[in-house]
Amino acid sequence: MLVRTWNVYHGRTYPKSGRTYLERMVRLVTLDAPDVVALQEVPLWALGRLERWSGMQAAWAITVPSFLGPVARLVTELDPVRVRFTAAGQANALLLNPHFEVEEHRVLVLNPEVPRRDWLFQGRQRRVCQAAGVQAGERFVVANLHATNDQALARVEVGIAAEFVAAADCCILGGDFNVPRYAIPEFSPPIDGIDQLLVKGGRVERGPEPWPLARRRVDGRLLSDHAPVEAVISWT
């Protein structure tokens, strides 16, 4: 199985420019028919387009609501450098092989101590872990999270996410952990950086490894401030 994770940065470039490339990014990361892609920082206006862009099944979990509705895309594209993520809202998303049977999709809030009014009106992000049970010959769980941009809090949230999927014999836990090289017992070792793909109950045949810069360079800039991380795994 080919598995990837990518914080798509709302389709922005690094350094920021006056254009966004979200559709191009989703098509790029799914072009060679991977089996699982975990995305973070997806604007809400794009959620209904993910299946068409990728040719994969999509499941998502909203982390930041949008107050602009359908006009959020237009406002963001007018000035993607200055417009904040709160204008378009934000979600995590899982893209799954269309031949997989998705048995369930669960979402756990990792920071329930953040009051609802804070993430609705003060721009604080609700952090979640979404987990899908998948039947593909072998049954496994794939989970996707985007932890808080604070290493102390991120360690707690990643640990909570690991407990959320602890009952699964075969599991992929991926996403933007926001803490480098965070190891979890019974899972494969982490890599350098904060974007991770950890595997339990399977064998990592290749990777995890980030894409080379050239693979996501467009018009002299990089797509997103994160590189996609990918791995090839097999179940044992």
Section 112-138 average pLDDT: 81
Residue 41 makes CB contacts below 8 A (sequence gap 6+) with: 7, 8, 9, 10, 85, 90, 146, 176
| CATH number, residue 204 | 3.60.10.10
Residue owning tokens 């959020």: 72
What confidence score (pLDDT) does residue 189 get?
97
Section 86-105 average pLDDT: 90
Helix and strand numbers (H, E) in the chain are 6, 14
Q: How many domains does the chain have?
A: 1
Count how many Cα atoms sit within 13 Å of the Cα of residue 21 in the half-sphere of its side chain. Answer: 21
Q: Is 104 exposed, middle or buried (0-12, 13-18, 19+ CB in 10 A)?
A: exposed
What confidence score (pLDDT) does residue 81 get?
47
> pLDDT band for position 46 (50/70/90)?
very high
Mean pLDDT in the chain?
90
* pLDDT tens digits, 192-234: 999 999 999 999 999 999 999 999 999 999 999 999 999 999 9
Q: Domain span at residue 96?
A: 2-235
